[in-house]
């Protein structure tokens, strides 16, 4: 079963890279696999730790920036001025992100989630103003931390 999941993930990774006209490199494959396996957003430092291979910071940074530019992942700023990254949905494209959803940061486990079902409403700005980007970040306790663990 695990081998089937690995093969499906590998096929998915290759499809995403080819669809975005990116060459399939070891670092791109590994980093994209991390995003596909992750439930929430990932910080740059976490990618370096979880990659299992030693990628230098520049390689990770360039790969992340390429993925953002191509509309594969999006940036989520946090209250502590760090940046997390999460997979985009299918309606994002190169140079144009459609991630108009709320992000949730758990104050207990520090995981950031994309709440895709909660769409940010259209913001009516005063005359003369135009926005290029809108973010809504909610903080609290996620369902995983809120659910008590029952020990035998």
pLDDT tens for 53-109 read 677 788 888 999 999 888 898 888 776 777 888 888 665 555 545 566 778 888 888
Residue 151 scores a pLDDT above 60: no
- Pick from 70, 69, 59, 65: nearest CA to 30: 59
User: Measuring CA to CA, how many Å separate 105 from each of 1, 66, 93, 120, 123?
Assistant: 32, 25, 25, 16, 22
**pLDDT given at position 116:** 73
Q: Which of 94-103, 123-132, 143-152 has the least mean pLDDT? A: 94-103
The per-residue pLDDT for range 79-91, each reduced to its tens digit, is: 677 788 888 866 5
**pLDDT given at position 97:** 52
pLDDT higher at 23 or 77: 23
pLDDT higher at 92 or 114: 114
pLDDT higher at 40 or 66: 66
**pLDDT given at position 3:** 47
**pLDDT given at position 57:** 81
Domains (range + CATH), the chain: 2-146 (1.10.10.10)
**What span, in angstroms and rounded, lies between the C-alpha atoms of 130 and 93?**
22
Cβ atoms of residues 28 and 65 within 8 Å = no
pLDDT band at 17 (very low <50, low <70, confident <90, very high): very high
The rounded radius of gyration (Å) of the Cα atoms in the chain is 17
| This prediction's pTM | 0.70
pLDDT higher at 128 or 80: 128
């Amino acid at each position: 079963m695990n081998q089937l999941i690995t093969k499906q993930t590998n096929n998915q990774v290759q499809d995403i890279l080819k669809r975005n006209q990116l060459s399939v490199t070891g670092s791109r494959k590994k980093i994209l696999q991390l995003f596909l396996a992750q439930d929430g957003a990932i910080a740059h430092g976490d990618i370096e730790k979880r990659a299992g291979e030693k990628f230098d910071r520049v390689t990770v940074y360039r790969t992340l920036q390429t993925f953002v530019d191509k509309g594969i992942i999006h940036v989520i700023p946090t209250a502590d001025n760090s940046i997390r990254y999460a997979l985009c949905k299918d309606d994002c494209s190169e140079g144009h992100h459609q991630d108009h959803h709320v992000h949730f940061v758990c104050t207990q486990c520090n995981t950031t989630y994309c709440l895709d079902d909660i769409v940010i409403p259209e913001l009516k700005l005063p005359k003369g103003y135009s926005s290029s980007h809108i973010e809504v970040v909610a903080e609290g306790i996620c369902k995983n931390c809120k659910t008590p663990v029952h020990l035998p």
